[in-house]
């Protein structure tokens, strides 16, 4: 699947929080050819519950599918790739370096400022104006997509994951309208007792999972028992339904 979709804009990256030597041995033993990076704590940060956990992430950083979905089908990937819009390529010239660095650092306020300031110049040559106008169009599209994403995150039901994503969007887009939209959504979460209950339950589920290594049979059995107790304690929450699905899956593995 990697070879089939790589030219279409799909990039596969392995992320592990295991020890460096253990990871290197695994890469060699499995003959892995795609890039693999170490990121301690990544499994907990993104809600990974078992190895391997598959995530599909958009170019904007939106998590499209989670481990609960297992490996996305090829039909799903083809459809998702149809809507992918990539940042226009910048010519390898020094005059584009400030914009290039702003994009690389996800400093969207600086991207917006640079584009507006530079495009306002009267002496801009045609080539540079064409390049910058393409980036401005992409940036405006990014802002629109991000605004829609914020509204979608506000729909739940996984409000804890939404909270973490909204906090990142608020940081990345600081100084722009979508940052204010993300902040407003977080404030709504904080004012809603039902949502706060859901967030509390999801955080508790993360702690339960962190206590056990599901890759070890003895630990997996203990985790199954702990998940059953969690379901009873947090009945009626989205986290309880996630715990139930995970418990069933672990019991079958």
3-class SS of residue 16: strand
- pLDDT at position 232: 95
Q: Tell me, yes or no, if the pTM score tops 0.95.
A: no
pLDDT tens for 140-164 read 999 998 999 999 999 999 999 899 9
| Cross-strand pairs, 37 | 15
Q: Are 250 and 224 in contact (CB under 8 A)?
A: yes
CA distances in angstroms from 253 to 65, 213, 220, 221, 245, listed in the order given: 21, 14, 10, 11, 13
Q: Per residue in 198-248, pLDDT tens?
A: 999 999 998 998 888 877 888 889 999 999 999 999 999 999 998 998 888
SS (H, E, C) 51-119: CCCCCEECCCCCEEECHHHCCCCHHHHHHHHHCCCCCCCCCCCHHHHHHHHHHHCCCHHHHHHHHHHHH
Domains assigned to the chain = 2-82 (3.40.30.10), 94-191 (no CATH), 201-252 (no CATH)
Share above pLDDT 90 across residues of the chain, in percent, rounded to a whole number: 53
Q: Tell me the per-residue pLDDT of 157-200, one tens digit each, with 9 for 90 and over.
A: 999 989 999 999 999 999 999 999 999 999 999 999 999 999 99
């Amino acid at each position: 699947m990697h070879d089939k979709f790589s030219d279409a804009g799909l990039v596969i990256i392995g992320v592990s929080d295991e020890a460096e030597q253990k990871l290197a041995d695994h890469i060699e033993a499995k003959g892995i050819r795609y890039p693999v990076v170490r990121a301690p704590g990544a499994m907990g940060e993104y809600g990974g519950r078992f190895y391997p956990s598959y995530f599909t992430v958009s170019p904007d950083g939106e998590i499209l599918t989670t481990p609960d979905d297992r490996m996305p089908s090829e039909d799903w990937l083809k459809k998702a790739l149809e809507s992918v819009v990539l940042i226009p390529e910048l010519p390898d010239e020094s005059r584009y370096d400030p914009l290039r660095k702003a994009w690389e650092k996800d400093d969207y306020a600086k991207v917006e400022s640079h584009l507006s300031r530079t495009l306002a110049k009267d002496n801009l040559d045609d080539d540079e104006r064409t390049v910058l106008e393409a980036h401005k169009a992409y940036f405006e599209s990014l802002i629109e997509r991000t605004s829609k994403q914020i509204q979608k995150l506000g729909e739940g039901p996984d409000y804890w994951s939404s909270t973490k994503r909204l906090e990142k969007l608020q940081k990345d887009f600081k100084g722009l309208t979508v940052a204010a939209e993300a902040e407003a959504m977080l404030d709504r979460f904080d004012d809603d007792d039902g949502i706060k209950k859901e967030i509390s339950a999801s955080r508790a589920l993360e702690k339960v999972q962190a206590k056990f290594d599901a890759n070890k049979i003895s630990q997996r059995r203990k985790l199954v028992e702990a998940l059953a107790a969690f379901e009873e304690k947090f009945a009626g929450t989205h986290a309880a339904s996630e715990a139930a699905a995970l418990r069933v899956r672990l019991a079958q593995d």
